[in-house]
Structure 1
Amino acid sequence: MIVKQQLKKLSVNYICVELGEVEIAEDLSAAQQKEFKTALLKFGLELLDDKKSILIEKIKKVIVELVHYAEEPAKVNFSDHLSSKLNHDYTYMANLFSEVVGINIEHYIILHKIERVKELLVYDELSLTEISYKLHYSSVAHLSNQFKKITGLTPSHFKKFKENRQKGLVNP
């Protein structure tokens, strides 16, 4: 809504405004672009006009969608999925991502998968076996090892820790 509102203020015709992306009908003048950037910054938003930054944001968006919002496990591996979705060579994207973000794509995916595991453990709707299947782990042991490596806790210890913390909040 903020982006649409700012585009209207600048009398810029847009074709589409989606999460993280804006398609405009005509090129912005340098003055319009500067004014748009300044207006977005006031709301904590940033205009990315450099193609590499845009690609990095698209990579992050695809990973978040796949890890957090996909109902079924991916039928292809992440590298193939990213390549087909973004129409770029995976090696190029992986090198660019590492250079700009400071971690490789695989580690970024793992971090998001572990965050998703935490969410699913807290909401207690799925077993660890179901979570490992949903997030495309080869086994529960693989998920548990990765979880412990990232968080320092086993999934069951994390779950108990959360339960004890919530009990403490309810019954001080």
Structure 2
Amino acid sequence: MKLIEKIDRHEVLRRWAIGEVYSEFFNPLYESGREETMKMLFSGNRYLEREGIDVVLEFKQSLVDSISLYVKWYKAILEINRSDLDMVYTLQLPGWERNTDGSYLVADAAKNINEMPFLDPRVTGIYNALKDREVKLQGITLLAVDKIGPYVAVEGTGRLTSIYMAQQLNSLDLIKDNQVEIALGLY
């Protein structure tokens, strides 16, 4: 993990929201709502960005609120290799317990879903979109005690699982320079 620069919580949430705009979790009343929300998130105006963040993360607010205000946030580079990816855990949620056979490791989820795509149709859909290069990688958010890990993915677990499937299990070269820019929170 390479730290690039320190960022504030607002920037983390802005990036998170950008990553969510095209996910199935954000369902604006009209499709044009996605474009309007993206304009707010890229406006450079903190007030408009905050409005966009609130709209997109409305249903994830309890997760957002559970993250300590004392976390120090960084823009960072996650190397897409086994040594880094094998240290990424999922949140302890029932679906991820099933996908990982209880280990909560992204690597185990990737292996299981790669073998049984029907295990998690959402991740399988993300994987197929990744192969078509239609996945937005911005907004992946990890937490850790220090930069060497282990890490917990609080946002982007499906994308990280799909990346692991593509790059590590199926030897597809889909990620430029085998690196993904993420937000890393350090306690």
- Give me the TM-score of the superposition, normalised by structure 2: 0.23
Larger RCO (alpha carbons 8 Å, 6+ apart):
2
Higher strand share: 2
- Give me the TM-score of the superposition, normalised by structure 1: 0.25
